[in-house]
């Protein structure tokens, strides 16, 4: 049984799963107010269950919103620490790809990294198996366009998908359906099955580049 959370972008979600069975899940798209919404969602999803039933807690540890990722990781560390519950650090981009396990497709997962750059990874999904084609990275729209042009058909998903599509202008790329475009905690739980558990102490945010404040400070120095 795994409790899974996501707060890495504009959406937030929590799910309790037992293998492939979804016991309960919640999803909200209310903007970056995860400090107010995440814990109440966890309490509602865990209603009727205790934390000592859990085999682990999974979280999208990045990439994504710096604030959202920090809130999610801190929440999971707090939930897991007292009982030393194993934690699963899941790539946000990989969680997006797991929305498409019922399709055979190339999935381009993208999150808005500003300045027409995107946090991105590409995956091949076939017969329910998700295979990673490239590592998580920050990439320009021009470089991504060149790479995606070599595929027959690509589904573009993630919080940066609509912006990415407007910049790609490729006939072989298609925007994901609304019900699959964002990462969600159920998909986080699916991705967690391919991740080794770590201790709550070892769980850390995963950033692909410095925050804007850190970049500006570096420039000043």
Q: Which of 207, 9, 194, 199 is nearest to 87 (CA)?
A: 199
What burial class does residue 138 get, using C-beta atoms within 10 Å of its C-beta: 0-12 exposed, 13-18 middle, 19+ buried? middle
Whether 215 has a pLDDT exceeding 60, the answer reads: no
pLDDT band at 213 (very low <50, low <70, confident <90, very high): very low
Whether 171 has a pLDDT exceeding 90, the answer reads: yes
| pLDDT at residue 114, rounded to an integer | 84
| pLDDT at residue 221, rounded to an integer | 58
Whether 207 has a pLDDT exceeding 50, the answer reads: yes
Tens digits of residue pLDDT in 55-99: 999 999 999 999 999 999 999 999 999 999 999 999 999 999 999
The C-alpha atoms of residue 76 and residue 22 are separated, in whole angstroms, by 19
DSSP per-residue letters across 51-96:
GGG-SEEEEEEESS-HHHHHHHHHHHHHHHHTTT--EEEEEHHHHH
Report phi then psi at 83, rounded to 5: -100, 5
CA dihedral 35, 39, 121, 193 (to 10 degrees): 160
What burial class does residue 185 get, using C-beta atoms within 10 Å of its C-beta: 0-12 exposed, 13-18 middle, 19+ buried? buried
Q: What is the pTM of this model?
A: 0.92
Least trusted range by pLDDT, from 30-44, 117-131, 203-217: 203-217
Peptide bond into 117 cis (omega under 30): no
Of all residues in the chain, what percent carry a pLDDT higher than 90? 88
pLDDT band at 214 (very low <50, low <70, confident <90, very high): very low
CB 57 within 8 A of CB 3: yes
Report phi then psi at 178, rounded to 5: -55, -35
All structural domains of the chain, each given as residue ranges with its CATH number in brackets, are 2-93+182-220 (3.30.420.40), 99-175 (3.30.420.40)
Beta bridge partners of 73: none
Of all residues in the chain, what percent carry a pLDDT higher than 70? 93
Average pLDDT over residues 3-20: 96
DSSP per-residue letters across 95-163:
HHHGGGTTS-EEEEEEEE-STTEEEEEEEEEETTEEEESS--EEEEHHHHHHHHTTSS-EEEESTTHHH
By three-state DSSP, how is residue 220 classified? helix
Average pLDDT over residues 187-198: 97
Average pLDDT over residues 30-43: 87
């Amino acid at each position: 049984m795994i409790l899974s959370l996501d707060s890495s972008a504009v959406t937030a979600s929590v799910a309790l799963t037992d293998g492939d069975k979804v016991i309960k899940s919640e999803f909200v798209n209310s903007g970056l107010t995860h400090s107010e919404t995440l814990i109440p969602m966890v309490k509602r999803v865990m209603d009727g269950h205790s934390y000592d039933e859990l085999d682990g807690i999974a979280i999208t540890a990045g990439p994504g919103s710096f604030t959202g990722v920090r809130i999610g990781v801190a929440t999971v560390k707090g939930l897991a620490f007292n009982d030393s519950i194993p934690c699963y650090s899941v790539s946000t981009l990989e969680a997006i790809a797991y929305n498409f396990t019922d399709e055979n497709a190339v999935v381009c997962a993208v999150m808005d990294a500003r300045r027409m750059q995107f946090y991105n990874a590409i995956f091949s999904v076939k017969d329910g198996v998700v295979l990673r084609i490239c590592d998580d990275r920050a990439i320009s729209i021009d470089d991504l366009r060149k790479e995606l042009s070599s595929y027959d058909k690509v589904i573009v998903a993630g919080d940066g998908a609509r912006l990415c599509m407007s910049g790609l202008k490729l006939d072989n790329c298609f925007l994901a359906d609304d019900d699959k475009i964002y990462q969600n905690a159920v998909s986080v739980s699916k991705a967690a099955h391919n991740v080794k558990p770590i201790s709550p102490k070892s769980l850390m945010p995963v950033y692909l580049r410095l925050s804007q404040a850190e970049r500006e400070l570096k420039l000043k120095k």
